[in-house]
């Protein structure tokens, strides 16, 4: 018996572990392990947990239709996984385990422990690259080190992609008669605190839905992506991040579909489609970094010297940021959108992260944790990379004095206030000319239903720069 262990790769198509397990005639079974206490320790958002479990339900039905049973285990922490997996393997008569590699440090430690325990039962473990187009470690400097700046990494990544190519594998063929599947909602497998397993209707699960979104984006938006991607009121992005984070679609499928749509693989900014490919490359960069620099999984800054930054702590200011009460409309709209939907536009993520770290001078780790506790697409590599980029502690060639002005960012990327009015409803009737600095207009109207700015951006910017100069002393 071969056993396929599904993790953040909840799909049938382009799943290397599943494909290799299904080679040959030996029976195949599948496994998913829920670790609720570990998930909570990792700040996994409830909306993301529900999304994952709803996809597990969908995956279980699809596997059953192929004649592959999906077994479910529930253990509270990763420390319990090796023994539980060994017991299941013994019961099923497993001879080989197949799984796609994890990139986070806790997950890697878990997998090493699993390999050691199963080796005692003479069960071979086979690990594959299922989360990146090119495996971590493939794109290195001439001296064999990980790139510390994105631009040279992206050039080397594109070159390696041309040299290596890639194959997208179809879902496996049926391996026997269809099997029954008992929905998760009818089992005691799931923590009742998650409530209904059905995810937000804005985020339907399933590989077909992920492919539909990808096709729609490539047909309707990819050619204009460079011009529209920064405007949150426009449908200019793929909105595939939850599906990539859960592994419902693979990055190889995205690159392959882009190439098929265009008839070529973009190589420079001058070519249509390159800007979106560049975003996929950023995703690769952060994932490669996480594997090759494990300290990033342990709350450490990429730039070691920035561990000494004198961050401030103001619980009231942090609460105002979390709840969207800062007095800066674009920041408040973004945070309210996150809290209500579990998702935030990428431009807005940069704005609110800069505001927390450079205006409020609050540690990036608090923002990183809050995002993970809310995001449906919460992914350690991308989330950590984005927060450290914004805070000036990460892999970024830009100088530390880059500080986003929240007012001008709002004026530039939501000029008519369409996004702001959607989420900051108390500003719905403010004219566009005043919307990004509405306080004088509100005062003239005798209104006090929107908070004053909690910080003077000009003053806060100077303080942020001084924080980094402190490191030079």
Q: Which residues pair with 70 in a beta bridge?
A: 30
**CA angle at residue 48 from 112 to 170, to 5 degrees?**
65
- As given in the structure block, the two tokens for residue 141 are 């400097």
Sorted by sequence, the CB contacts under 8 Å of residue 340 that are 6+ apart come out as 423
- Tell me whether residue 387 is one of the annotated catalytic residues: yes
In sequence order, which residues have a C-beta less than 8 Å from that of residue 45 and are 6 or more positions away? Answer: 342, 372, 373, 374, 375, 376, 378
Rounded Cα distance between 168 and 155, Å, is 23
Which token pair is 138? 């493939």
CA distance 7 to 45: 16
**What CA–CA distance (Å, rounded) separates 214 from 463?**
43
- Residue 449 contacts residue 327 (beta carbons within 8 Å): no
**Are the CB atoms for 420 and 330 separated by under 8 Å?**
yes
Neighbours of 151 (CB within 10 A): 10
Check 5, 39, 276, 282 and give the catalytic one: 282
Taken in order 467, 471, 472, 473, the sign of the CA dihedral is positive
Question: In this structure, what token pair is assigned to residue 24?
Answer: 């040959």
Q: Catalytic pick from 80, 127, 129, 311?
A: 311
Structure tokens given for 121: 């039962």
Is 282 a residue of the active site? yes
> CA-to-CA distance for 6 and 268, rounded, in angstroms?
36
Residue with tokens 């536009």: 345
Asked if 323 contacts 424 with a C-beta cutoff of 8 angstroms, the reply is no
- The active-site residue out of 387, 389, 405, 423 is 387
d(CA 216, CA 228): 15
Reply yes or no on whether 313 is catalytic: no
Check if the beta carbon of residue 287 is closer than 8 Å to that of residue 245: no
Among 62, 127, 346, 418, the active-site one is: 346
| Residue among 62, 76, 209, 279 flagged as catalytic | 279
Q: How many residues does the chain have?
A: 473
Beta strands in 75-196 (DSSP E): 96-100, 124-128
Catalytic position from the list 364, 368, 383, 423: 364
Give 77's contacts (C-beta < 8 A, 6+ positions apart).
35, 37, 38, 41
Question: Using CA atoms, how far apart are residues 335 and 73, in angstroms rounded to an integer?
Answer: 35
Catalytic residue IDs: 279, 282, 311, 346, 364, 387
């Amino acid at each position: 018996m071969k056993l396929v262990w599904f993790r953040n790769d909840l799909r049938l198509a382009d799943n290397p572990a599943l494909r290799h397990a299904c080679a040959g005639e030996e029976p195949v079974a599948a496994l998913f392990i829920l670790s609720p206490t570990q998930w909570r320790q990792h700040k996994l958002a409830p909306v993301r947990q529900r999304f994952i479990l709803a996809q597990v339900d969908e995956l279980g039905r699809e596997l059953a239709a192929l004649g592959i049973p999906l077994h479910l285990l529930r253990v509270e922490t990763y420390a319990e996984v090796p023994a539980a997996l060994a017991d299941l393997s013994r019961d099923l008569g497993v001879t080989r385990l197949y799984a796609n590699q994890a990139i986070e440090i806790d997950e890697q430690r878990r997998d090493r422990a699993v390999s050691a325990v199963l080796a005692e039962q003479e069960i071979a473990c086979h690990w594959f690259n299922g989360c990146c187009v090119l495996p971590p470690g493939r794109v290195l400097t001439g001296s064999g080190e990980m790139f510390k700046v994105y631009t040279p990494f992206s050039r080397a990544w594109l070159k390696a992609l041309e040299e290596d190519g890639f194959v997208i594998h179809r879902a496996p063929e049926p391996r026997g008669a269809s099997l029954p599947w008992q929905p998760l909602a009818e089992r005691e497998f799931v923590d009742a605190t998650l409530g209904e397993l059905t995810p937000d209707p804005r985020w339907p699960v399933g590989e077909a839905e992920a492919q539909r979104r990808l096709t729609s984006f490539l047909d309707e938006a990819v050619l204009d992506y460079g011009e529209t991607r920064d405007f949150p009121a426009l449908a200019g992005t793929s909105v595939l991040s939850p599906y990539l984070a859960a592994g419902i679609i693979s990055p190889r499928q995205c690159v392959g579909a882009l190439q098929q749509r265009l008839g070529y693989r973009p190589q420079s900014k001058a070519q249509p489609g390159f800007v979106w490919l560049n975003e996929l490359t950023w995703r690769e960069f952060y994932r490669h970094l996480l594997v090759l620099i494990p300290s990033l999984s342990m709350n450490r800054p990429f730039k070691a010297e920035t561990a000494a930054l004198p961050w401030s702590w103001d619980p009231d200011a942090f609460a105002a940021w979390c709840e969207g009460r800062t007095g800066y409309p674009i920041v408040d709209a973004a945070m309210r959108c996150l809290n209500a939907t579990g998702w935030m536009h990428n431009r807005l993520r940069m704005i609110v992260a800069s505001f927390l770290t450079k205006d409020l001078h609050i540690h990036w780790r608090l923002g990183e944790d809050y995002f993970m506790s809310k995001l449906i697409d919460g992914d350690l590599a991308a989330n950590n990379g984005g927060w450290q980029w914004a805070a000036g502690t990460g892999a970024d060639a830009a100088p530390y004095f880059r500080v986003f002005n929240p007012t001008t960012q709002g004026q530039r990327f939501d000029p008519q206030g369409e996004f702001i009015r959607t989420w900051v409803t108390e500003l719905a009737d403010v004219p566009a000319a005043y919307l990004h600095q509405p306080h004088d207009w509100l005062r003239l109207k005798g209104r006090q239903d929107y908070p004053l700015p909690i910080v003077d951006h000009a003053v806060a910017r100077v303080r942020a720069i001084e924080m980094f100069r402190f490191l030079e002393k």
